[in-house]
Structure formats: C-alpha cells, structure tokens
Amino acid sequence: MQMPQSLKASRARSFGRPSLLSLKKQGGGATWRLPQTQLLTPWVPGQVLVAHVSAQYKELEERQLGLVDETRENLEEIARLNMVVAQLTSKLEATDIRSNQCMQKQADLNNTIRQLR
C-alpha cells in the first residue's frame, strides 16, 4: 500500500519544522503540547516523548522538594508554637495560684475585720 504523494510531502515538511512541539503556559506551569496534526500520524519522534516525560518529571521533582521543605518548616513552626503554648500555660497556672492565694488572704482579712467589730 502506497502513501499518497501529498501526504508524504506534508509529513516530511511537518517533521522537519522546529515547531513540532510547542510550549504552552497554563496556570503557573508549562505543558508540552503536540499539534493535533502530529498526533494523527502513526509516528511521533521518541525524542519528543522523552523530552515531554523528562520535563514533567523534573517539574514534579521540584514540586516534591518544595513540599518537603515546606513541611519541614511547618513542623518547626508547630514545635515552636507548642513551646509557646506550654510557657503560657505554666504562666497561667502560676497566676491562677497567686490569684487563689490573694482571694484566700482577702477572705481571712474580712473574717478578722468581722471578729474585731
């Protein structure tokens, strides 16, 4: 089965172009996109697929490293906040004890004053 001459010529021209693979920006990331005409052909260059997969892998790896760093920073912040909460709790307990002591002294003074009248 022979391929029509016009199809042979269009395939030869399209595969020789540098615009075989286009880079499209979408929502903060870049996605590789093959033109629809190239996807309809039975042959896609292996280098194009390798470049696409390796670009996606690199982006995902960078995102993962960023998430690991962010998680570490969040854990450090949580530990720091837990220490602050513990310090504030101990200060609150000490203040509560002093407040109870002051209330007891006030009650004792009131009793003493009543007895002297």
Residues 6+ apart with CB under 8 A from 98: none
Name the amino acid, one letter, at 10: S
| Mean pLDDT for all residues in the chain | 78
- At residue 5, the 3 state secondary structure works out as helix
Q: pLDDT grade, residue 27 (50/70/90)?
A: low
Name the amino acid, one letter, at 33: R
Q: Which pTM was predicted?
A: 0.49
